[in-house]
A and B are shown apart, each in its own frame.
Chain A
Amino acid sequence: MNELEFFLEAAVRTATPLLIAAIGESVSERAGVINIGLEGCIIAGAYAAFVCAGAGPAAGYGAATLAGMSLGLILAVFSVSLRRDQIIVGTALTMLALGVTGTLFRARGSAGALVVDIGTVYRIPVLSDLPLVGGALFAQPAIAYAAFAAIPAVWWWTNRTHAGLSLRAVGESPAAARSAGIHVARTQFGAVLFGSAMGGLAGGALVLAQAGSFAEGMSSGRGFLAIAIVALGRWRPAGVAIASLVFGSAMALQFVVQSLGWRVRYELVLMIPYVLTLMALGAFGRGSAPAFLARHDLEE
Chain B
Amino acid sequence: MSDIALVAEAFWRGSLGTSSALLSGTLVRAIPLTILGVAIAIAFRAGVFNIGAEGQLLLGAVAATVVGLHVPQGLGVVGLLLALGAGAAAGGAWAGIAAVLRARFGVLEVISTIMLNFIALNLVSYLVRGPLQEPTRVYPQTASIDEGARLPQLVADTRLHAGLLIAFAVSVGAWWFLSRTAAGFRLRAGGAAPAAAAAAGRVNVPRVSALALVASGAIAGLAGGIEVAGVTYALYEHLSPGYGFAAIAVAILARLNPIAVIGTAFLFATFETGALGMQRDAGVPSTVASVLEAVAILAVIGFGGHMAWVRWPRRRGRASGAPAPEASA
Given known pairs A231-B111, A274-B118, A278-B116, the reply for A291 and B318 (CB within 8 Å) is yes
Q: Which of A1-9, A96-104, A157-165, A195-203 contacts B (4 or more CB under 8 A)?
A: A96-104
Interface string of A65-104 (1 = CB under 8 A from B): 0000000001000100011110111011101101110110
B interface, over-half SS: helix
In the complex, which residues of chain A have a beta carbon less than 8 angstroms from the beta carbon of B310? 85, 87-88
B101 contacts partner chain A, Cβ-Cβ < 8 Å: yes
Evaluate contact between A274 and B119: CB separation under 8 angstroms.
yes
Name the residue of chain B whose CB is nearest to the CB of A90: B110
Evaluate contact between B126 and A265: CB separation under 8 angstroms.
yes
Task: Give A102 to B108 CA distance when docked, in angstroms.
Answer: 29
Number of interface residues of A (CB under 8 A): 56
Given known pairs A83-B306, A91-B51, A95-B293, the reply for A282 and B105 (CB within 8 Å) is yes
Name the residue of chain B whose CB is nearest to the CB of A96: B294
B316 contacts partner chain A, Cβ-Cβ < 8 Å: yes
Q: In B125-178, which residues have CB < 8 Å from any A CB?
A: 125-126, 129-130
Contact of B107 among A270, A282, A297 (CB under 8 A): A282
B17 contacts partner chain A, Cβ-Cβ < 8 Å: no
Q: Which of A56-64, A137-145, A148-156, A221-229 contacts B (4 or more CB under 8 A)?
A: A221-229
Contact of A291 among B105, B115, B123, B317 (CB under 8 A): B317
Evaluate contact between B325 and A99: CB separation under 8 angstroms.
no
B5 contacts partner chain A, Cβ-Cβ < 8 Å: no
Task: Give A154 to B312 CA distance when docked, in angstroms.
Answer: 27
A124 contacts partner chain B, Cβ-Cβ < 8 Å: no
Evaluate contact between B112 and A271: CB separation under 8 angstroms.
no
Task: Give A100 to B294 CA distance when docked, in angstroms.
Answer: 10
A36 contacts partner chain B, Cβ-Cβ < 8 Å: yes
Number of interface residues of B (CB under 8 A): 53
Evaluate contact between B290 and A102: CB separation under 8 angstroms.
yes
Task: Give A102 to B241 CA distance when docked, in angstroms.
Answer: 13
B97 contacts partner chain A, Cβ-Cβ < 8 Å: yes
B62 contacts partner chain A, Cβ-Cβ < 8 Å: no
Evaluate contact between B294 and A274: CB separation under 8 angstroms.
no
In the complex, which residues of chain A have a beta carbon less than 8 angstroms from the beta carbon of B49? 87
Given known pairs A91-B51, A228-B115, the reply for A281 and B325 (CB within 8 Å) is no
Task: Give A96 to B302 CA distance when docked, in angstroms.
Answer: 15
Contact of B327 among A221, A286, A293, A300 (CB under 8 A): A300
Given known pairs A82-B302, A228-B111, A268-B126, the reply for A281 and B105 (CB within 8 Å) is yes
Distance (whole angstroms) from the CB of A92 to the closest CB of chain B: 4
In the complex, which residues of chain B have a beta carbon less than 8 angstroms from the beta carbon of A277? 111, 115
In the complex, which residues of chain A have a beta carbon less than 8 angstroms from the beta carbon of B107? 278, 281-282, 285
Evaluate contact between A91 and B297: CB separation under 8 angstroms.
yes
Q: In A259-298, which residues have CB < 8 Å from any B CB?
A: 265, 267-268, 270-271, 274-275, 277-278, 281-283, 285-286, 288-289, 291, 293-297
Task: Give A291 to B322 CA distance when docked, in angstroms.
Answer: 13
A106 contacts partner chain B, Cβ-Cβ < 8 Å: yes
In the complex, which residues of chain A have a beta carbon less than 8 angstroms from the beta carbon of B306? 83-85, 296-297
Task: Give A102 to B115 CA distance when docked, in angstroms.
Answer: 22
Output the residue of A103, A107, A228, A289 with the most chain B CB within 10 A: A103
In the complex, which residues of chain B have a beta carbon less than 8 angstroms from the beta carbon of A83? 306
Distance (whole angstroms) from the CB of B126 to the closest CB of chain A: 4
Evaluate contact between A271 and B122: CB separation under 8 angstroms.
yes
Evaluate contact between A91 and B248: CB separation under 8 angstroms.
yes
Q: In B301-329, which residues have CB < 8 Å from any A CB?
A: 301-302, 306-307, 310, 312, 315-319, 324-325, 327
Q: Which of B22-30, B83-91, B211-219, B281-289 contacts A (4 or more CB under 8 A)?
A: B281-289
Contact of B123 among A87, A103, A271 (CB under 8 A): A271
Task: Give A265 to B114 CA distance when docked, in angstroms.
Answer: 22
Evaluate contact between A88 and B301: CB separation under 8 angstroms.
yes
Evaluate contact between B129 and A99: CB separation under 8 angstroms.
no
B199 contacts partner chain A, Cβ-Cβ < 8 Å: no
Distance (whole angstroms) from the CB of B37 to the closest CB of chain A: 14
Task: Give A289 to B104 CA distance when docked, in angstroms.
Answer: 17
In the complex, which residues of chain B have a beta carbon less than 8 angstroms from the beta carbon of A36? 110
In the complex, which residues of chain A have a beta carbon less than 8 angstroms from the beta carbon of B267? none
In the complex, which residues of chain A have a beta carbon less than 8 angstroms from the beta carbon of B123? 267, 271
Task: Give A84 to B318 CA distance when docked, in angstroms.
Answer: 22
New A-B contacts (14) at CB < 8 Å, excluding given A92-B297, A281-B107: A91-B297, A95-B249, A96-B290, A96-B291, A99-B289, A99-B292, A100-B287, A102-B287, A103-B287, A267-B122, A268-B122, A271-B118, A271-B119, A291-B318
Residue contacts A-B, CB under 8 angstroms, 9 given:
A98-B290, A220-B118, A267-B122, A270-B125, A278-B116, A281-B101, A281-B107, A281-B112, A291-B315
Residues of A within 8 A of B (CB): 36, 74, 78, 82-85, 87-89, 91-93, 95-96, 98-100, 102-103, 106-107, 173, 175-176, 216, 220-221, 224, 227-228, 231, 265, 267-268, 270-271, 274-275, 277-278, 281-283, 285-286, 288-289, 291, 293-297, 299-300
> Which 6 residue pairs spanning A and B have beta carbons closest together?
A99-B290, A96-B294, A102-B287, A106-B285, A267-B126, A99-B291
